[in-house]
Each structure stands twice: as structure tokens, then as C-alpha cells.
Structure 1
């Protein structure tokens, strides 16, 4: 069903998964990075800020955590819609849920957001950036969103932020789960899972399949007026083995297939096909209470193909990571060696010859953190040796001061970069002399937290140079247009966010003022609003869980010249759920209650009022 030609790394991972899955009581583990979090509340620990577990309250970065309970209560159908509920995050989508989707963190480009699934890097060496429509939300157990550059820890790509997704972990006796959803546009989905643990083994397996007739996603007279439906399937497996009390092996696989209709001409039934495969094999060892190491091999492969107008692109990413961390009293030092390999294959079409390219980056990362009473200081430095661009240095420094029991102020500065994609350099539109995009970020934050309540304010400015744009004819082979380091951008803004509980009602809110602007033209960057707001409320009443949320965005422009204006919008969404029996829950969600007509991409429609009913069951 999902054609996949694995590399030696993927074959090794698949073999390990196959062997472990034959053990009768095999079980699954959370990513090795989360081993420290196993005995702590899910919300209390994050790994995205430093690539090592640490209490969220101690993190000096601006990071959010979304647990499985929050994911289920949200009831959304796509990972991008879940991210859009977070402070500082905005999305743009070409049509329905399966349409091309971009995620902007603090106004940065989609390609400036680094995505990891169970520690596996996911990216495209064609357009650059994750293809979010490929990612299945049904298999995701936990989400972490790091706002701000992470290049000093993660290397290329993380100019605007990092999103980490973790799949389900297995624990306790073997437990079955299942779910079915139906909704507007003849949307249907089924899913099933099995997880558990026994002795030294743990496991989690799951599968999901969804269909939708969709709606007419393209509104121009030259587009096919038919409905644009989609089909998506996903499978996931994770296994773990506790070799000794301090040493653990783990393996994971994720595969998705997405087929969606889109409108490129008036009469053709245009169809795109996506696949995403991730695989990882890792080990984590704790030598003492103060010393631990981890090693991971991982690979991801994404494909995108269109018919009948043929186009295909394949990206393969491999990553080898060895990391060690040592605690010395109130100080922590860390070091990591990493090798990244990128490959791109675009088979020949009627308009272009076969494009095949590859490159590698070898990196050394050093980190230090010191806690000195009410003050904390953290430094990271990274050197990447790129096979094409040579050495690239990035660094970050962060400071925090807890000047009162509930109050803390933070400040940080960091540099970042994003290497041009292989397509941007070597396709018919490419320019081999393109240089990496670079960023310099400064930010400051103030946060109050007590019990389950918190309020925060963060201000930032991120200056990006050598910004790569697609423009008019230049030095490339195409007369239509070429890529070029033609721009500079200045991203600045302020975010206010908070959450609390009053009279049995959980409240959350965020307000963003953004100014993502091209420094050379003084124009706003395309498809990014200057003001974003979210407001949510959840409560339990008479056996029901009830929720309401408002999402609002100001006007923005669809083009770099700021000629095509997209109006602002405000959406009201409602959700209700009820437990029918132990382990059996019914949920209903209504999106865009007022049936607001709006667009996040010019000439593309968005769904009007939609209803989704879901029935979930977990073995007790």
C-alpha cells in the first residue's frame, strides 16, 4: 500500500522493530529523550529547548507543551490546526485539510521551522520546510513548540522555531483502543491501536484511515469546479527494551500516505500523492545520577507526486546523533556529535531533466547551564561543517532571574542559519551560488506562574539576511524566474499569553502583535497577519465536557508586493464530549460556527461551518 525503498539505515531499524515485535508481550517507550520524564507529570518536562529533558518551569526558552488530553479535547483533524491554537503561530492553507499547508512561527518562513517526529528530522529538499499536510495527528501523543531560533542546538533550518512531535508510549497491561469519526463533506475516519508493557519490553502500535469528499477548494473560473476530496492512511510502531536499569534500546516507525485532489486546470482531475516515512533506532544510557548518554540513527523520506501533469520529488534525510550530558553540582555541561545527510531526486518530466543531488553536514555542539540561586545562565555553541558551504558557527546565550517566588524575567540572544535546498541551487530555477540564510535574534520575557495559572509577555526581534526569494529571470536556466538571495527580513513582535481556572472554567488566551517585514521594500511578508488572537474556555457540566474557542487574525497580503489583500477573520469553534461508559467517549465539534467566508491563500476557499462527530474507546 505504501511503496518504500529503504536505505540501509531504514532496513536496520525495520529489522530491529520486526524482531522486537515478535516478543509476545512487547511494549513501546516514549522517545529516549523523555526517559527522565517517565516518572513526572507530562506537562512538567520539555526536551525541545536543549534536546535534553528539563522541567518546563526551568526552561529559559519560550516553549509550549500540548499533551494527549489537550489534543483529544481540541478535537481537530490536522496537526497544523492544533499548532494554530498556540501563541505566536499562524497557518496558511491552499484549500482543505489536505491542501498545501504552511506554519509560520513568529512570522518566519515555513522553511524556517524545524520539525522532528520522535527525534527524526522531517524536511523537504525541494520547497524547503515540512509538508504539514502529511503529518497524521491520530498518532501524536505530545507536542512541543519552541518559539525562537534553535540552530545552536539543532543546526540548519531552525531560524524561527522548532516543533517536536512524539508518538504514543506503551505502559501497563496490554490495552486496545479504537475510534471512528464522521463529519461534514462526507468525512470519515477509523483508527485502532494496541499498547502495553511487560517486564523489560514496552510497545505501541496504531493505524488510521480517513476519507473525505471535500469541497471545491479553488474559486477561480479557470479551475475545475468539482469537489476536492482526500484519503489518508497512517501506521505507527514503537518498541523499547530496558537492557539494564540504566540502559535502554528503542525503535520507531511511522508511515503515512495521502492522496488528494486539487485544481490546476478547468477540466483535468488533478491528483497529488504524498508519502512520509520515518524510522529511528536508538540507545540511552545512564551511567550515574549525574551522567547520561544517547545515540540515535534516524531516517525520513518524503515524496510528492502529481498527475496527470507529472511532477515528482523525493527527499531522504539521515541523521546520526551521539550526545552526552554531565551534571556538576548546580551546573550541567553537554556535548553532541551529529552528522546529517540530505538527498534529493526529481525524476525527469517533459519540461526538465532528472535532478539528483546530495550533501552532508558534520556538527559539534557544546552546551553549558549554571544555576546560581535566583539566577540561571545557559550557553550553546555549534559548528556545522557543510560539504557545500564549509564551516558555519551558531550560538545562543540565555539568562533568567527569578526575582520573586512566582515571577521570572528572561533574556536571550542567538544566531541561526538555513542552507539553501538542493532544488533551489540545482534545478532549472536554481542558482548554484546561493548562500545560506542567516538570522540574529534577541528577545526578553516576563512570566508569572502559580499553581495552574500563568501569564507571560515576550518581545523579540529576529533579523534575517540573505533571504531566498523566487523572482524574475536571472542567472538560472529558466526564463520564467530564478531563486536569489534578494531580500532581508525583520521579524519583530510581542506576545501576551496566559491561562487560569476560575469557578470551574479553564481559560486560555493569547494576543500577538507581529511585524514580519521585508527590510528592503518595507512590505509585509506574504500571508502573515500583524495581529493574532486566541481565546478558549473549557468546563465540565452535568456529565459533559464543554469547550469554546475564538481564533482571530487581521488582514494580510498574499503577495510580496502587498497588492493582493486577504481580509481578516474571526472564527468561533465549539466542542462537547460525554463519557458514555468507562473508556467510551462521544465528542462533537463544530468549526466556524458563524460560517465565516475567509481565505488564508488567494483564490483558495476554506471550509465553512463543519461538524465532526467522534466516538473513542479505550480498554479499561
Structure 2
């Protein structure tokens, strides 16, 4: 529930939002803001960009925001599970299969603020609104020069609707309410309300969600200990926006959030809590200059429990109790845009982010109690400045060139382990402070070769510092023990792509080839097989694995993207997307046997087909078919996950101008979606058939 300091604020926002505001139509030009941190036309962006409108995201048959984004084949989470059932630590984003892991190798933003967890780098997708979304931008392979750390694979930015401060034709609906319920006792309610107050506007939004969930283990492997993965979450958010001087707008945002999950057995659960606030100032474009400043603060906590289940799945033994993971994040940024001539523009800025966090957990379960305690964590700080210049070189030919310099440091790294009964110190490591400087250049060309045709080429160099979780926290899931590594090196990726696009009023086609060279990728590398006691990882039980986070010297991810959009009639549009991905380890001195192996959790083939069809004036159908090729669960390519063909269907009926009935069926054919496979053959699966129906009202 909301923390005490925020409850009065949110109550006032809710009361203020109770008054109606005349709905107006939004007519805005399509722009991309995530590639260069400033608004630019999509046909001027040299990187691959997928744009999804708020209406498209709301109409998606997927139950979750990340599920809706899977319409872009290059988008995936660490595993095939989506945030409806996945453990939060497995919700990191991978774009084009660039080294998937629990920590995102792509930067995920909500209105310009990182959603990547301060401690672990994963993404809590349940924080993302749906009714208040204006759209989403997925920039594959680009954005690192503008955004810096963690943007190796690209940028995913979710943008919320912004209510105007004065009456204008650019207004948004006064409010929107959606209520739905269906399979597995799932129910959700979400509301967003915009209300002018004096010279400003309040926007209040909230969600309440709960599900009894479904079993994660396949029926043939399931035992008495297995439970459905139930979850519930809620959040409240408020934003005040006011024009404080002609052309200058102030926005203040506050959010409070909490979530509780069961992860498939009685003991395995996790919970998340967060309070967040931000303030921004934006100067609207004048003749030749505009700027925006942002500052934010985040305070959160996380808790999670893990167990080891016996072979017959009739009992479980606690493996660890991560009873508290407090983390804070503070950040600030300033971006300016100068337009020197109609055909030239420069954007530049600076940003800073500081995170601090530690894990506090109990481990080594014996005689009905945990006997040891671990506290491990540290502080990470990154500051950077960047500049990007865009210029027309000739009629139809436009170039972009940019560079970014980041300085990072890691402070107060520590790991202390004690006997709970005696207080005896078993381990007390303090790690030397570390620092470094990274340079992230990028370049791009866009050539309008003929009417409707565009040829583009782009390249960038990017980096990611390992998260505090990767550096300092060992963990155990079942009988798989993974040791931390405070000496992990910085990941660096050099990426390039070449693409050609065609667009007409009824047809759009595109193709792109891409190449990524990822150096020092952090991976969970298998070192030992149990039973036995081994260096670094300690005792590994029978059937278990001993792993450590290590840098893989070089991995290569390359492939091909194809896409098509066809609108043969106003009532019908069709889409098709395909991704071929060759992701392999090239050099791994820490584990030479991995050379030539495919990266875990990356399918070689992914395809998606979708449509939006209105067979009658008030009816809209949005079917979607996704194909996921086979992939490997593990780094050694011994555990294979089968291919899956997933059919989803969305349907809506416009009951009145303001009221819409909708029905979403996810995995309509109840396809078996393998999401995990253990060394002893246990298989986990993703979302079975899930049907939700509801009503959406706008005013």
C-alpha cells in the first residue's frame, strides 16, 4: 500500500480528478524522441525503430505491457515468460538477442526515467500504466550515445499522455477507466483522470491487479508441493503540470507501488515496494533553441525466498531468504537542442545517476532454521555528457554523428557473512573502489533514394557496467548455485546495421541486416557438477550445478530483420515481422568449451503476424500469431526448449461513443510454451490459455 508520506498527496490528486474535463481529439505529428533524446521525424532516424501507439498497446490481446511489446520480434525478456508469471529478477529486456540475462542489456525508460532496477537491472513491468500510455518506442541497436550505460541493445521508452495546461486542440481525454476479469480469477482495474486546477492540470492514475495464477511446472512433472503463481500489485501516481512562464512548463510526478508474488511453491515468494518522485522543466521550441531538465529520486525495497524441492516434488527445503534488498536511485539530466539552419540540428546534454543498494539474506538451512546471514552491496555512480549533430549533406542525404563521454565509479563494495547464533564472522570482504571512463560514439546515414524509398546505415559503440547484484550477490535457485564476482569487467558492444525501407499510403516494407560484437559479456558460467565441494562455489548437492558470473571474452550476435505493413482498406491492416538471429560465443577463456555455443535464451527464428480488422462499424478484431523457434536454457546448450506457435485474439465492441467492451484471449490454442528446463528434466511453462473480458470508458 502507499507509504505514509505519499498518501495525503495521492488522496488530494484523486479528489481533484473527480471532476470531468471535456474530451478533445489528439492530432500530433509522429516523432521519435528516444534515439537522440529529442524529437525527430522517424524517416530521419538511421537506426531501426518500432513505434506503437497507446491505442495499439491498449488493443493488444496480451495481458501485460511487456506482452504487448512482444509484437516487435526483436523484443524479449530474459525468458519466454512474461511479467504475469516471471520472477521479477528474470524480467530484464533483450533486443535482438544481445546477451539476454536477468539484468537488461537494453535501457528501459518511462517518460525519460530508467525503469531498470537500481540493484539488479531487471524491469518491474507491473509499474507501467496502460490506460495512460501515449505510446512506446523500441530503438533496436541505437541510442547509446544519447543515453549511455545499459543501452547496448537499444532503448525501450514508454511515454504517458500529457494533459495540456490550457484548452487547445491538442487536449487528451479527461479520463479513462478500464475494468477486466477472467481466467484464474484474474481481475484488474485502472483509471486515469486529467483535471485542470487553476493555471495547471492534475493527472491522477491508479491500478489494482490480482490473479490466482497458473502452475509453472508441466502436469507430468508437477507434484504436491507445486502451487499456482499468484500475484497482486497496485500503484497510485499523480502529476502536476503548469506553465510557469510563456513557453516554460513545470511537471511534478509522484508514484507509490507495491507487489506481492508467489513463485510456484508455498515457500517461494517475493515482494516489491517503491516510492518515486520527479520534477522536470521544459522550454518549448523557440526559433532555434529548446531545452529540458529533469531530476528524480527512487526509494525501494525487495524481498524474495528460494527453496530446493525434492525429486518427487512433495516437499521443499528453504535455500535462502533474501529478506531485504533496500536500494535508492537519484538522477538528473539536462538536454538542449539548437537548430542553426533548417537542415541542421545539434542536441547535447549531460546526465548523472547514483544508485546504492545491498542484499540482506539468510542462507544455509539446517535443523529447521537458517544458520547464516549475508549482507552485500555497494554504491555505483555514472555521469556523462553527449552531443549529436544532424545535417543534410545533399538533397535526400542526411548524416548523424555523435559522441558521449561517461565517467563511472563504484564505492563501498562489501560482503559480510556471519553465523546467526554466535555472530562469528565467516567472511568480511571490502572491495577496492573502482572507476573508469567510457567513450560511446555513433554515426548514421539516411538516403532518400527515390520517392518512398529510404536506405540507412548506422553504427554505435556502447557499454554497460555490471549491476550491484552481479558484482556482489551470490544466489541459489534449487540446486543451482551461482557465485558473484566483484571483479567483473565492463561490457562493451560495437553494433552496426544496414537497412532499406519503402513506404506508401497503403504499404510499408523493410529489411535490415545487423551485426553486434559484444566483449566481456557477463554470463552465469557452469564450472562444477554436484555432488561435492568445489573452489569458489562451495558444496553443490547431487544433480546440482556450480556457476559463477564471469566475463565471456567475445560473443557475436548478427542477423536479419524483415517487416511488412499493408492496409488494403480503411477497415483492415495486416502486419508481418521476422527475425533471424545468429547469437554465438566466439571466445571464452574462462570456459573454453563454450566457444561456438549459442547464447542461452536466444531463439534463431522469431516471427509475428498481426491484423486489425473492423468487419462492422462498431467491431474490431486484433488477432496475433507469434512463432518462437527452439532455444537453449543453458550456456552449455544441453537443455533445449521447444518451439512454440502462439495465437492471441483481441476483440472490441464500441457500445457507445464513450463505452467499449473488449475481450482478450492469450494463447488461444493453449500451446505449451516451454520457459525453463532443469538438468534433471523438470520443465516450466508459460502462460496457458488466458481469457479476459472487460469494459473501457472514456470521457
Q: TM-score, normalised by structure 2?
A: 0.80
Matches within 5 A, 1:117-516: 117-132=110-125, 134-171=127-164, 172=171, 175-197=174-196, 200-219=199-218, 220-221=221-222, 224-263=225-264, 268-286=266-284, 288-307=286-305, 309-311=320-322, 312-329=324-341, 330-350=343-363, 351-372=372-393, 373-387=395-409, 388-427=434-473, 429-451=483-505, 453-471=507-525, 472=527, 480-503=546-569, 504-516=571-583
* CA distance in 1: counterparts of 2:335 and 2:18, whole angstroms: 30
Contact 1:213–1:230 (8 Å) recurs in 2: yes
The residue that corresponds to 1:598 in the other structure is 673
Quick check: 201-210 or 135-144, which moved more? 135-144
Contact 2:493–2:518 (8 Å) recurs in 1: yes
* CA distance in 2: counterparts of 1:2 and 1:492, whole angstroms: 45
Quick check: 440-449 or 481-490, which moved more? 481-490
Quick check: 196-205 or 471-480, which moved more? 471-480
Contact 2:93–2:105 (8 Å) recurs in 1: no
Unaligned runs of 5+ in 2: 165-170, 306-317, 364-371, 410-433, 475-482, 529-533, 540-545, 588-594, 678-682
Q: Name the CA shift for 1:460/1:487 in 2 (closer, same or farther; >3 Å).
A: same
1:531 aligned to 2:531? no
Contact 1:317–1:340 (8 Å) recurs in 2: yes
Contact 1:102–1:132 (8 Å) recurs in 2: no
Deviation at 1:280, TM superposition (A): 1.5
* CA distance in 1: counterparts of 2:599 and 2:294, whole angstroms: 37
Deviation at 1:288, TM superposition (A): 2.7
Deviation at 1:141, TM superposition (A): 3.1
Provide the alpha-carbon RMSD of the alignment: 2.9
Contact 1:139–1:236 (8 Å) recurs in 2: no
Quick check: 475-484 or 230-239, which moved more? 475-484
The residue that corresponds to 1:48 in the other structure is 34
The residue that corresponds to 1:103 in the other structure is 93
- Superposed CA offset, 1:495-533 (max 9, x none): 001212113311111011111111132111112111111
What secondary structure sits across from 2:637 in the alignment?
coil
* CA distance in 2: counterparts of 1:121 and 1:207, whole angstroms: 20
Deviation at 1:392, TM superposition (A): 0.9
* CA distance in 1: counterparts of 2:269 and 2:261, whole angstroms: 6
Deviation at 1:206, TM superposition (A): 1.3
Deviation at 1:260, TM superposition (A): 1.2
* CA distance in 2: counterparts of 1:19 and 1:94, whole angstroms: 38
- Superposed CA offset, 1:99-118 (max 9, x none): 23343210112521101111
Q: Name the CA shift for 1:22/1:326 in 2 (closer, same or farther; >3 Å).
A: farther
- Superposed CA offset, 1:402-457 (max 9, x none): 01121110001110111011232233533332210000011111001122531111
Q: Name the CA shift for 1:188/1:129 in 2 (closer, same or farther; >3 Å).
A: closer
The residue that corresponds to 1:615 in the other structure is 695
Number of residues paired by the alignment? 600
Contact 2:508–2:566 (8 Å) recurs in 1: yes
* CA distance in 2: counterparts of 1:139 and 1:277, whole angstroms: 19
Matches within 5 A, 1:1-20: 1-3=1-3
Q: TM-score, normalised by structure 1?
A: 0.90
Deviation at 1:337, TM superposition (A): 1.6
The residue that corresponds to 1:589 in the other structure is 664
Contact 2:57–2:65 (8 Å) recurs in 1: no
Deviation at 1:222, TM superposition (A): 6.3
Unaligned runs of 5+ in 1: 6-10, 29-37
- Superposed CA offset, 1:535-591 (max 9, x none): 111111223111211101111111111111111111111221111122110011222
Deviation at 1:359, TM superposition (A): 2.0
Contact 2:463–2:492 (8 Å) recurs in 1: yes
The residue that corresponds to 2:414 in the other structure is none
Q: Name the CA shift for 1:182/1:419 in 2 (closer, same or farther; >3 Å).
A: same
Choose from 614, 630, 644 the match for 1:540.
Answer: 614
Contact 2:131–2:191 (8 Å) recurs in 1: no
Structure with max Cα Rg:
2
What secondary structure sits across from 1:44 in the alignment?
coil
Contact 1:17–1:252 (8 Å) recurs in 2: no
Quick check: 352-361 or 91-100, which moved more? 91-100
What secondary structure sits across from 1:507 in the alignment?
strand
* CA distance in 1: counterparts of 2:669 and 2:14, whole angstroms: 48
* CA distance in 2: counterparts of 1:564 and 1:467, whole angstroms: 21
